[in-house]
Amino acid sequence: MTELRDIGLIASFEVRRAVRTWRALALIVLYVVATAGAAYVFTQIIGAAEQSLASTLGVPATDTPGTMLTELKANREFRGALSQAVGGTDQLDALLQWPLLAIFHLWFSFLLVPFFAASASAESIALDVRTRALRFEALRTGRLEIVLGRFLGQLLLTGLAAAASIGGVWTVGMLYMVGHTPLGLATGLVWFAVRAWFFSIPFVGIGVACSQLTASPAWARVLAISMTAGSWVALGIARWLETRGDGWAIVADLLIQILPQGWLMTMWAPGLDWMVAALVCSALGLVAVGLGYARFAGRDL
């Protein structure tokens, strides 16, 4: 119980400290601006697609994106592009019950969240090792409690960023697009933000792991971003290996299982099936933190 209490205390202090640090706030604002900006670009793309479709169908076009969503969703080319992104037509049909903008937001979050989460959390321990501020906590509680507390704190901050981005995207959706209700869009964004948050867990884990390896915040950040980018490359290699025969397929399958991106399509699953991917991502996050801790536990502070 004492350990859990200490983890909670450290997480809470981490969040309060980060909120008072301009750097953490700037990252959150950057994330909100990026997602809102991407949402705006998406509304313009939808508007252009609708105008093109209207021209094809010979119907009058409108300037407001979202007025021909029903026709757009039925369009074969549009469906083909979307189904590739979400892992199949069955999943797409289930997902299309949600506002299109919410679906786009989840897709964009899956791209952005890993880098944001890994980069932001890479400072969490390294900075305090460099300034030796960590010693004030290390005297009073175990190193594992500190690491898990910082990990939890970073997850809460990522959740804060994800929650803030909902507001930005919702505002863009209400200002520049029609075809969804305010409540419907908000519900879709919230529901999908939870999935994006779960997908961030392994990358927060990578960030915290890198933060335990060095006393240089800059180096920890470079390492975390490189590992995140490397995980996408590893996924590409695994997909390529899958096509090369039985022996390689086993290796590829194993690699895909341990990469968060390997569970991305399951994250799109309708109903509650995506929670399997969420559980795996949580476990991968803890494994990453644990690997960093193996070094941190035995190092001088």
- Nearer Cβ to other proteins (10/112): 10
Told to check if 4 binds other proteins by CB under 8 A, we report no
- Residue number, 142 or 184, with CB nearest to other proteins: 142
Tell the smallest beta-carbon distance from residue 219 to other proteins (Å): 19
Chosen residue from 131, 171, 226, 257 binding other proteins by CB under 8 A: 131
Residue 1 near other proteins by CB under 8 A: no
Residue 130 CB, nearest distance to other proteins (Å)? 9
Asked if 2 is part of the footprint of other proteins (rule: CB under 8 A), the reply reads yes
Segment near other proteins (CB under 8 A), from 1-9, 41-49, 154-162, 280-288?
A: 1-9
Q: Which amino acid is at 99?
A: P
For the bound state, the minimum distance from the C-beta of residue 295 to other proteins, rounded and expressed in Å, comes to: 13
Smaller CB separation from other proteins, 13 or 219: 13
By the rule CB under 8 A, 301 interacts with other proteins: yes
Question: Which residue ranges make up the site for other proteins (CB under 8 A)?
Answer: 2, 6, 9-10, 13, 16-17, 20-21, 128, 131-133, 135-142, 298, 300-301
